[in-house]
Amino acid sequence: MTFLFAGILGIYMAGMALPLCFPGRPRIQNAFAHGLAAAAGLVGIGLGLAGLFAPEPWTASAESTIPFLTFAIRIDPLASSFVLIISLAGLAVSLYALGYVREFYGRIPVGVLGSLYNGFLLSMTLVIVADNGFFFLIVWELMSLLSYFLVVTEHEKPEVRYAGLFYLIMTHVGTAFILVVFLIFFQQAGSFSFEAFRNPQHVLPEGMRTLAFLAALIGFGAKAGIVPLHVWLPYAHPAAPSHISALMSGVMIKTAIYALIRVYFDFFGGQFPWWWGFTVLIVGAVSALLGVMYALMERDLKSLLAFSSVENIGIILLGIGAGMTFQTYGLKEFAALGLVAALYHTVNHAMFKALLFLGAGSLLYATHTRNMEEYGGLLRRMPWTGLFFLIGAVSISALPPTSGFVGEWLVFQTLFLSFHVPTVLLKLILPVAAAMLALTGVLALACFAKAFGISFLALPRSSHARHAEEVPWSMRIGMGMLAAICLLLGLLPMVVVPMLDRVGTSFTGVSITDKVVALNGWALAPVNVEFSSLSSPAIALGLIGLSVLGLLLVAVFGGSAKARYYKTWGCGLNLSPRTEYTATGFVQPIKRVFSTIYQPTVKLETEFLEESHYFSKRRLFETHIEPVFQKYLYDPIVTFFSAMADRLRVIQAGSLHLYLTYIFLTLVALLLMAV
C-alpha cells in the first residue's frame, strides 16, 4: 500500500502544479488538471480496496519540528471505505469536468481552478487517513479553505461572495468545536496521536466524555449539514461550479460522517450511555424529514439537491444512532448492522447525489439557468442526460432495483429490531424514527418526481429549453459511470455488505456477513429469512420479466393496430407551456398540509384595465417560504455580534501608543495567569 499511497499523493500534487505551468492555455490546463485527477482516482480505488482486504491496518509516520505534530497515516477498514468513496466519485467527476470546464474558458483562470480541484481531492483523502489530531486539523482546515475558494469561483457575482462568506463562517464555527474535542482527548492522553486517543492513560471523566460527544456532534454536524446547522448548504452548493457541488455534497460532507464514526466507535471504544444514541437518532430523524420538506419547495434545482443532502445525512445518522443504541446494551450484531446500513447509504448517497449534481450541471450547461420553471421538454433534446438523471432520481427515491432502495431498507430493518432493546422509551423511539423515515421516503419520491417531471417532460417553457443541446461525451461518460454504480450497488448488495462488514467488525468485534447474506448470496436478511429478507436480483428479474411480458402482450394483441399520433386532448383548448404544471404548483398541496412548518407568504397584485375594473390587465403573484432557522436562530446571533462590534469600535482609536498599551496589559495578564 506504500506504493499506492505514494502514487495518489504524487499524482494529485502533479495535478496541482502542472496546470499552473501553462498560463493562457485553458485546454492544456483542463487536460492536465482533470486527467491527472482521474488517474489519482483510479489509484485511490486500488488503495481503498487494498485497505479493505488487508489483514492489518497500514501505518506510516514522519516527525516534524512542530511540537505535538506528527504526519501520521493509518489506513484501516473505515478509512479504506471512505478513500474508495472519494476516489470513485473523484474519477467520475474528473471525467465529467473535462467537458464541463469548457464553459469557463476565457472567463476564469482554468489553471487555478484545476489546481484547487486537485488540492481539494487530496485534502479530503488526507483527512480520511490522518492518524494525528494536529495533522487532522491542518488538513481539515485545508479542505475547508480550498472548498471555499472553489465555491467563490465566480466571485464577481454578489450572491456567490455572500454564499462563500456564509460557508466560511459556518465551517470555522464547526472547526472550533472539533478543536474542543481533540483538546479534551489530548488532556487525557498527553498526545495528539489517534492511537493515544484510543488508549488514553486515564479514562475520561463522565462530564468530559459528554462534552466531547456533544462538541463532536456540533462540530462535524456543521460540516455534514444536520439541522439546524444546515443553513450553509443551500447557499454554497448552488454557488459553486456543478462538478465542485457534486464533490462537496456527494463526498466532502461524508468526511464528517467518517469523523463521527471515528470518534464515537473508535476513540470512545463503543462505550455509550443510552441517551447518546437517542440524541443521534432524534437529530437524524429531524434532519431527514425537514431536509426533504424544504427540498420540495425549491425551484432552483441545485438548491433542491442541497436540501436533499440534509435529508440523506439524516438517514445515515439514523443508522449510526441505532448502532450506538444497540452497542449500549451489548447487542453487538445489531450494532454492526446499524453501522453497515449507515455506511451503505453513505456510499449510495455519494454516488447518486454526485450523479444528480452532474445532471443539474448538464442542464445548466445547456440552458444557462438553474430555475426549473424555465425547463421542460428536455428529455427529447438531452436523452442521455435525462436517462442518467432518471436513474439518480429513482435511486435517491429508494425505488428498486437501485442502490437507494437497499440502503434505506437496511436502515429500516435496523430500526425495526428495537424490540430487542430492554428500555421501553427506546423501544418506542426507534419505530417512531422508522415512521419518520417512511414519511421522508414518500416526500422524497414526490420531490424527485417534481425534479425530473418539471425539468424533462412536457413542453419547453423558455427559449433556453427550446434550444438546449446534449452535453459533450466526456460529461455523459462521467454521469454514465455513476449511474452504472447506482445500479450495481442496488443489484449486488451481497458483494458490498461483506466489504462494509469489515468496518463494523473492526469496532464491534463481530462479523454479520454470514447472518445477513442469505440463500447462497441471493438475499439479505438482517436477522433471519423468516423475519425479513430482500433479494435485489430477484426483484430486478421480476421487473424485467413483467416488462418483457407487457411488450409481448402488446405485440400479440396490438400488432395489427395502426399507430396514430395526435396532440393531447385539452378539453377543446390549445395546450401551451402556460397550461403545464409548474414547480410551484406541483407542491402546492404539500405546502398547505405543512403550512405550520413552512409559514408561506403569498403576495398577489392585480392591475385592472382603465376601461373596466372587472378585467385584469396584469397580475403579479409571489410566494416564498419563511427561512425559520435563519430568521429566528442565526439573524439574532448576527445582530448581537454586530451590536457588540459597534460598541467595541471605540477601542480602535488609531493610536499606536494605545495599541501598545493593550499588548502590554495582555502580556501582564498572561504572566499573572501563568504564575
Q: What's residue 533's pLDDT?
A: 80
For residue 636, cis peptide bond before it (omega within 30 degrees of 0): no
Q: Which helix (H) or strand (E) holds 336?
A: helix 332-367
**How does strand 523-524 pair with strand 58-63?**
unpaired
CB-based contacts of 312: which residues, under 8 Å, 6+ apart? Answer: 288, 291, 345, 349, 353, 396
Asked if 267 and 192 touch (Cβ cutoff 8 Å), the reply is no
Q: How many CB atoms lie within 10 A of CB 152?
A: 20
d(CA 669, CA 675): 10
The maximal CA–CA distance of the chain, rounded, in angstroms, is: 99
CB-based contacts of 214: which residues, under 8 Å, 6+ apart? Answer: none
b (16+ CB within 10 A) / e for 558-585:
eeeeeeeeeeeeeeeeeeebeebebbbe
Q: Which helix (H) or strand (E) holds 1?
A: none
d(CA 132, CA 68): 9
Asked if 37 and 118 touch (Cβ cutoff 8 Å), the reply is yes
Select from 158, 134, 113 the least CA-distant residue to 20. Answer: 113
Q: What's residue 530's pLDDT?
A: 64
**Distance, CA of 586 to chain centre:** 25
Asked if 179 and 137 touch (Cβ cutoff 8 Å), the reply is yes
d(CA 305, CA 310): 9
Helix extents (H) in 492-581: 493-508, 513-516, 536-557
Counting Cα atoms < 13 Å in the Cβ hemisphere of 665 gives 6
Q: What is the pLDDT of residues 264-304, one digit of tens each?
A: 999 998 888 989 999 999 999 999 999 999 999 999 999 99
Q: What's residue 519's pLDDT?
A: 75
Q: How many CB atoms lie within 10 A of CB 295?
A: 26
Asked if 238 and 370 touch (Cβ cutoff 8 Å), the reply is yes
Dump strand ranges (E) for 162-250: none
d(CA 75, CA 310): 28
Asked if 428 and 437 touch (Cβ cutoff 8 Å), the reply is no
Question: Bridge-partner residues for 72, per DSSP?
Answer: 61
Select from 514, 535, 531, 513 the least CA-distant residue to 523. Answer: 535
Residue 564 phi, psi dihedral angles, 5° rounding: -135, 125
Question: Bridge-partner residues for 604, per DSSP?
Answer: 621
Q: Which helix (H) or strand (E) holds 369?
A: none
7 burial level (CB within 10 Å; 0-12, 13-18, 19+):
middle
Q: What's residue 568's pLDDT?
A: 72
Domain-wise residue ranges, the chain: 273-554, 629-674
Helix (H, G, I), strand (E, B) or coil at 132: strand
Q: What is the pLDDT of residues 533-578, one digit of tens each?
A: 888 888 888 989 998 988 888 778 776 667 777 777 777 777 777 7
CA angle 628, 630, 632 (to 5 degrees): 60
d(CA 83, CA 65): 28
d(CA 272, CA 257): 18
Q: Give residue 303's identity as a one-letter amino acid code.
A: S
Residue 180 phi, psi dihedral angles, 5° rounding: -60, -40
d(CA 73, CA 93): 26
Question: Bridge-partner residues for 130, per DSSP?
Answer: 73
d(CA 633, CA 638): 9
Asked if 215 and 306 touch (Cβ cutoff 8 Å), the reply is no
Q: Give residue 224's identity as a one-letter amino acid code.
A: A
d(CA 246, CA 257): 17
Q: Which helix (H) or strand (E) holds 259?
A: helix 253-261
d(CA 174, CA 522): 43
Asked if 221 and 236 touch (Cβ cutoff 8 Å), the reply is no
Mean pLDDT split into 10-residue runs, the chain, 675 residues: 91 95 91 96 95 91 85 94 96 96 90 95 96 94 95 91 92 94 90 87 84 95 92 91 94 95 91 91 94 92 94 95 92 91 95 96 93 91 95 93 91 87 84 91 94 91 90 95 95 91 90 83 73 83 89 77 72 76 84 83 77 74 79 84 82 78 88 76
